[in-house]
Amino acid sequence: MVEVYYHDNKDTPEDFTKAHNSGEPVSLEKLAEIGVFYRNVKTLDELNQIAKDRDYKNRDVVNLDLDAFNNDLDAYNAKMAQFYKEHYHEDEEIRYVTAGEGYFDVRDKQDRWIRAKLSPHDLLILPAGIYHRFTLTDELKQVTAVRLFKDEPKWEAINRDTGKVSNARSEYVQSIA
């Protein structure tokens, strides 16, 4: 079951995969207020029903661990740093964890980081336009997840430091105002 809390903001480039739990929990209702959809999904039938209800037509499976990078620690660390860079997408980001665990961090209305630790059976849907980042946990360094898509899979991260504000970002900000 997901753990959700405010991030302690004490992470460094060397330890961002650690828990960084401030000790201040965040409710699932608080996540819903910023458009984040969470469910604990026990069966493939449940996942398929959510996909049908939300009009997701495509899916794939992604596995992230050191083996996926041919045990090249430098390549693995570079990819984790890339995923941890604050960004948003112009489409929803949907992840259903089937094995392992990882952290999704999202910004709340006050621009504070909320950290969600996902493990098997956790489904998280981030709305288009929300600033977020991702990393594997320091303990397992592995996750397998189903990614769902409304259309053909595409992946464009718009990093916050670029200053680009797309329609998706503007619409998201307006939706939570």
Kindly state the average pLDDT of the residues 37-51: 96
Where in the chain are the domains?
Answer: 3-171
d(CA 143, CA 64) in angstroms, rounded, equals 5
What is the average pLDDT value for the chain, to the nearest integer?
94
Decide the pairing of beta strands 3-7 and 113-118: antiparallel
Residue 90's nearest CA partner among 152, 146, 172, 160 is 172
Q: What is the model's pLDDT at position 2?
A: 94
7 is in an annotated binding site: no
132 is in an annotated binding site: yes
List, in order, residues 6 or more apart from 116 with CB less than 8 Å away.
2, 3, 4, 31, 36, 38, 103, 104, 105, 106, 124
d(CA 169, CA 50) in angstroms, rounded, equals 24
156 is in an annotated binding site: no
Pick the CATH number of 3-171 from 2.60.120.10, 2.40.30.30, 3.30.360.10, 2.60.40.10: 2.60.120.10
Q: What is the model's pLDDT at position 146?
A: 96
Kindly state the average pLDDT of the residues 26-51: 97
pLDDT per position as a tens digit, 97-154: 999 999 999 999 999 999 999 999 999 999 999 999 999 998 989 999 999 998 876 6
d(CA 90, CA 149) in angstroms, rounded, equals 12
pLDDT per position as a tens digit, 60-95: 999 999 999 999 989 988 888 999 999 999 999 999
20 is in an annotated binding site: no
